Amino acid sequence: MIKPSAIAGIVLAGGKSSRMGRNKALLPYKGQPLIDHMMALLRGAGLQDIFISGHLLDYPGIADESPAAGPVEGIRSVIKHKPGYQGYLFVPVDMPLLTPSVLRLLLAQEQGGYFINAPLPAYLVPPFTPCASASVQSFLDAQGIYPVDLPDSLAHTMKNTNTPQEWEEALSAS
Amino acid sequence: MTIHTSVTEQEISVADTIQRVSSPAHGAIDLFIGTVRDNHNGQDVTGITYDVHEPIATATFARICREAAGLWPDTHYAVIHYKGELPVGGTSIVIAVSAPHRAESFEACRYVIEEIKKHAPVWKQEHYRDGKSTWLPGHSLRQESAQADTCCGKCGGAQHD
């Protein structure tokens, strides 16, 4: 496994949160903004250099070159503006139930990895192949990264929260 | 979740710290004890004086514990830091984390000490055998990871201007 200090952790927070109706990254989760929780998650997985993709008030972020173009644009911008790492672990801001141990399953994949049926979170390892697609799955395919199995016991940690109802469900599950 | 953080000028009691996190629903308590080492950078150390900004330190400890509690559900925390002079072997910090199962207790305890090392306002003055002493940050300053000028490795930098 690549040593954690050589891996960048990135929270993808450039989305519009249109279905949520308010910025997901700033929703209060366990006493702090969700973005802070997600950064702590990356540190909990052992990473030291943590970045935010997207523009959030009061947080230093890496702006997308083409705003609102989806998570792939965020991934491309980070790779371009933060070169030099041996690995990049991307987590979406809206998966509050992810755990450090789930992320470590991905970090153990030396060639990069993601879970079957869930292109994010994704662990990417350079060199990167240019890919114009706006789909995360196509982007991962272009990098030649293969999915790995997620144990059933951890499936609940992958819950996305796009709507107020999904958010409430996540809060009660945590 | 319960969190206790404090700074003390008395000898830290490990038993007390454990008491603060123990719970009948928890089957694991992990303990970190930081002690004064007799050498640093090749010099013989005889003791360390810790200076701690108490209000900020306790708040920082609590923030770090809250972060950890968000990651490892149903965990309890106690962090007690010593302020003043300690001889070699003296206990400078005790962290206790209890959890339903051992895996979370180990992970959360490691998280708390690593984050405290990076962020807590703690300074230490090392005393050496030759009678001299020097102040240094009690928390290791974070090394910015070396960012070499690499790119995708295929475009020769053309795509990364």
What string of H, E and C letters represents the secondary structure of chain B? CCEEEEEECCCCCHHHHHHHHCCCCCCEEEEEEEECCCEECCEEEEEEEEEECHHHHHHHHHHHHHHHHHHCCCCEEEEEEECEEEECCCEEEEEEEEECCHHHHHHHHHHHHHHHHHHCCEEEEEEECCCCEEEEECCCCCCCCCCCCCCCCCCCCCCCC
- Rounded-to-integer distance, Cα B151 and Cα B161, Å: 10
| Torsion angles phi and psi, residue B43, rounded to 5 | -105, 145
- Rounded-to-integer distance, Cα A102 and Cα A82, Å: 24
pLDDT at residue B137, as a whole number: 66
Q: Is residue A146 within 8 Å of residue A2, measured between CB atoms?
A: no
Q: Which is it for strands A61-62 and A49-53: parallel, antiparallel or unpaired?
A: parallel
pLDDT at residue B120, as a whole number: 87
Facing B71 at nearest CB: one of A5, A80, A100: A100
Averaged pLDDT, groups of 10, chain A, 174 residues long: 91 86 90 94 94 86 77 91 94 95 94 93 93 89 92 89 90 84
Q: Is the ipTM of this complex over 0.85?
A: no
pLDDT at residue A86, as a whole number: 95
- Rounded-to-integer distance, Cα A90 and Cα A76, Å: 11
Q: In this structure, which amino acid lies at residue B101?
A: H
- Rounded-to-integer distance, Cα B72 and Cα B74, Å: 7
pTM of the predicted model as reported, rounded to 2 decimal places: 0.79
Q: Which residue of B has its CA nearest to A77?
A: B160
Residue A14 exposure: Cα atoms within 13 Å on the Cβ side? 26
User: Quick count: other Cβ atoms within 10 Å of Cβ B46?
Assistant: 16
Tell me the residue length of chain A. Answer: 174
Residues of chain A contacting B107 with CB distance shorter than 8 Å = 44, 100-101
Q: Does B143 touch chain A (CB under 8 A)?
A: yes
Residues of chain B contacting A102 with CB distance shorter than 8 Å = none
pLDDT at B150 over 60: no
pLDDT at B73 over 50: yes
pLDDT at residue B156, as a whole number: 38
DSSP-derived 3-state class of residue A159? coil
User: Quick count: other Cβ atoms within 10 Å of Cβ B38?
Assistant: 13
pLDDT at B124 over 60: yes
pLDDT at B146 over 70: no
Regarding predicted confidence, which is higher, A36 or B155?
A: A36
Query: DSSP secondary-structure letter at A22?
Result: S
Residues of chain B contacting A130 with CB distance shorter than 8 Å = 152, 154-155, 159
Tell me the residue length of chain B. Answer: 161
Beta-bridge partner residues of A8: A49, A88
Residue A1 distance to chain B (closest CA, Å): 17
pLDDT at B151 over 70: no
Q: Is residue A93 within 8 Å of residue A34, measured between CB atoms?
A: yes
Facing B66 at nearest CB: one of A32, A48, A82: A32
Q: Does B141 touch chain A (CB under 8 A)?
A: no
User: Quick count: other Cβ atoms within 10 Å of Cβ B10?
Assistant: 9
Regarding predicted confidence, which is higher, B44 or B118?
A: B44
User: Quick count: other Cβ atoms within 10 Å of Cβ A135?
Assistant: 14
pLDDT at B147 over 60: no
pLDDT at B143 over 70: no
pLDDT at residue A68, as a whole number: 64
Average pLDDT of chain B, as a whole number: 86
How far is Cα of residue A83 from the mean position of the Cα atoms in its chain? 17
Regarding predicted confidence, which is higher, B120 or B46?
A: B46
pLDDT at residue A20, as a whole number: 85
Facing A48 at nearest CB: one of B70, B142, B150: B142
Beta-bridge partner residues of B43: B40
Tell me the percentage of chain B whose pLDDT exceeds 90: 78
pLDDT band at B46 (very low <50, low <70, confident <90, very high): very high
Stated as kind and residue range, the H or E segment containing B136 is strand B133-137
The vertex-B1 CA angle with A41 and B6, nearest 5°, equals 90
